[in-house]
Amino acid sequence: MKVRIKFTKTGSLKFIGHLDVMRYFQKAFRRAEVEVAYSKGFSPHQLLSFAAPLGIGLTSDGEYLDAEFDAVDTSEQMLKRINDVMVEELHILEFKELPEGAENAMASVAGSDYLLTIRDGYYNNHTFFDKLDDFFQKEEILMMKKTKKSEKEVDIRPMLYALERRGEQIYMKLATGSVANLKPETVMMALCKECNIEYEPFGTMTHRLETYMWNPENENELIPLGAVGHDIMEPKREQVNE
């Protein structure tokens, strides 16, 4: 059976990459002695699929992975079993069974939202908050985007879904995924350009709040990846066809 797991990545673990996170989950599932499913063949591996891996240096409360299991306890029991063998900085929040035919997390991703906090000592006397509304109202925001072979000018405005001040932080909701993808640092570069301020690569702390997919019932609405699926209320075992 396929399960969608929501988890956090915080603290010092913001400095480890996607492959390390994947290996950590593989080891955690073994330590928790849960019946995760493996691929067939000469080199079996756990069947895991991560949605929109987080960049190094970012923290998050809205990471997702899909995993296949041969058997599971209730969602509440599975959360406890796995969290008991994991560090606090990687903490599972949801464990939901996916409906038959559900698209995997990686293919479903369409957006993410973030909170950016300006670090002490950077962007002194900035005017970001004064410019946010006008910046978001622009019809076109051109930025240079690097590809593997070259650079090209791209209009990032269609990929910027929301931008606003929240206290002393900047909130943004951006396109994420294989079809369209916009990084928070690219928006900050464009905002610095708008404010005639030099961009500081280490000037902000970036925290992902949630990862989204398009609502199957409303193609103009983004919903959390965790909206798909349901809590498991009793132990289950995958039926094997002889």
Parent domain of 56:
2-107+228-237
How far is residue 1's CA from residue 70's CA, in Å, rounded to a whole number?
6
For 74, counting Cβ atoms within 10 Å of its Cβ (0-12 exposed, 13-18 middle, 19+ buried), the class is: middle
Per DSSP bridges, beta strands 109-118 and 90-97 are: unpaired
Residues 134 and 87 reside in one and the same domain: no
Within-domain flag for 242: no
Written as one string, the DSSP assignment of 52-104 is: SPPPTT-EEEEEEEEEEEEEE--HHHHHHHHHTTS-TTEEEEEEEEPPTTPPP
Please give the tally of structural domains in the chain: 2
SS3 178: coil
Looking up tokens 């306890």 gives 73
The structure's pTM equals: 0.93
Residues 49 and 25 reside in one and the same domain: yes
Residues 218 and 113 reside in one and the same domain: yes
Residues 78 and 121 reside in one and the same domain: no
Residues 83 and 142 reside in one and the same domain: no
Which helix H or strand E contains 205, and what residues bound it? strand 204-215
Residue 145 pLDDT exceeds 90: no
Residues 37 and 98 reside in one and the same domain: yes
pLDDT, tens only, 222-237: 999 999 999 999 999 9
At 102, which CATH number?
3.30.70.580
Residues 141 and 131 reside in one and the same domain: yes
pLDDT, tens only, 182-208: 999 999 999 999 999 999 999 999 999
